[in-house]
Amino acid sequence: MNAYPVPSLNPWFPPAATDAPAPRPLRAIGVIGTGRTATGIAHWCAVRGFGVILQDNEPAALTRAVEVIRGLFREMEARNEITHAAAHKAMGGIGITTGLEDMEFCDMLVDTLLEDAETKRTRFTELARVMPPESILAAGASVAGLEELVAVTATPERLIGLQFFDPVHESTQVQVVIGSRTARATAESVLGFIAALDKRAMLQGAPRPPA
């Protein structure tokens, strides 16, 4: 059971209708990048039962990332936080790829790379092309940075900001940025995902008047 309350989305959206469908559960998570935060996200998502695809353009970086994740599982085993069998099963749920096209199998994409705005816009243009329209695109971005991606995303209602904190397995919080075009259904699915990770969602974004 999640130890943290799920925050209300009412400052950003009209109250949900009583007959509104339940948020779509997320099962497969794509992670772009192989830095400490990216490997931490992949590890913790796998611990909590999610399938993971880790993407980087460099095969050597992916090889190093896999070893880092294995090390995180070994540390959990040493602290008796997970059995060897459970760690082996979770590790088996993590795939790696050098191609963005493989992200089409993910319910949500989490981009952890920090670079110039033009590079990020180019990547999100490609992701919006290859990923199914119902998938969620999560950028590690501020409110202003997220708004820069709206113009290059054909379906900006699935765009949201998501910032994890290092070390991911120890941090209790995840920052969620609600964009000007983010749909309530997108935000609800992301809040459900964060709850499944047993973390507290901290919401940010300019409040929008009720429709």
Question: How far apart, in Å, are the Cα atoms of 138 and each of 49, 67, 92, 208?
Answer: 19, 25, 24, 20
Domain residues for 166? 28-204
**Beta strand pairing status for 159-164 and 136-139?**
parallel
Lowest mean pLDDT among 29-38, 95-104, 143-152: 143-152
Could you tell me the pLDDT band of residue 121, with boundaries at 50, 70 and 90? confident
Is residue 53 within 8 A of residue 97, CB to CB? The reply is: yes
Does residue 209 fall inside a structural domain?
A: no
Give me the pLDDT at residue 207, please. Answer: 65
Q: What is the domain count for the chain?
A: 1
Could you tell me the pLDDT band of residue 150, with boundaries at 50, 70 and 90? confident
CATH no. for residue 181?
3.40.50.720
pLDDT at 123 over 70: yes
Does residue 112 fall inside a structural domain?
A: yes
Does residue 1 fall inside a structural domain?
A: no
Give me the pLDDT at residue 23, please. Answer: 83
pLDDT at 2 over 80: no
Does residue 49 fall inside a structural domain?
A: yes
**At 111, which helix (H) or strand (E)?**
strand 108-111
Lowest mean pLDDT among 100-109, 166-175, 199-208: 199-208
Does residue 15 fall inside a structural domain?
A: no
Indicate the SS3 state at residue 47: helix
Does residue 132 fall inside a structural domain?
A: yes
Amino acid at the residue 83:
T
pLDDT at 1 over 60: no
> In whole angstroms, what is the distance from residue 7 CA to residue 36 CA?
27
pLDDT digits 0-9 by tens, 28-50: 999 999 999 999 999 999 999 99
**For residue 119, what are its two tokens?**
């590079």
Q: Terminus-to-terminus CA distance in the chain, angstroms? A: 33
pLDDT digits 0-9 by tens, 49-97: 999 999 999 999 999 999 999 999 999 999 999 999 999 999 999 999 9
> In whole angstroms, what is the distance from residue 140 CA to residue 163 CA?
5
